[in-house]
Chains A and B, each alone.
Chain A
Amino acid sequence: MNMIQMCKIAKIYPNGAPALHDIDLKIPAGEFVYITGSSGAGKSTLLRLLYCADRPTRGQILMGKRNITRLNARNVAFLRRQIGFVFQDFKLLLNRTVLENVALPLHVQGVSTEETRTRAFELLQYVGLEYKMQRKPLELSGGEQQRVAIARAMIVRPKLLLADEPTGNLDSSLALEIMGMFSRINKEGTTVLVATHDQELTHQTPHRVIALENGHVVSDSRPEANTESIEPQEAH
Chain B
Amino acid sequence: MNIKRIAVLVSKEFRYGSKNTIFFFAVIVPVALSLFISLLVGTLFAGRPRLGVADLGESQLVENLSGLDYIVLREYDSPGLLREDVARGALDMGLVLPLAFDPELKAGETPSLDVYTWGESLLKHRTTLGATLLRETIALAGYEALVETNIILLGEEPSVPWDVRLFPLVVIMTIVLGGTMVPATFVVQEKQKRTLQALLVTPVSMGEAMAAKGLAGVIISLVMGVIILTINGAWGGQPVTLLILLILSATMASAGGIILGLLVKDFSTLFTAIKSIGILLYAPAIVYLFPEVPAWIRRVFPTYYMIGPIVEVSMNNASWGEIYLDVIILCVLIAIMIAIAALVLRRTNLADV
A binds B: no
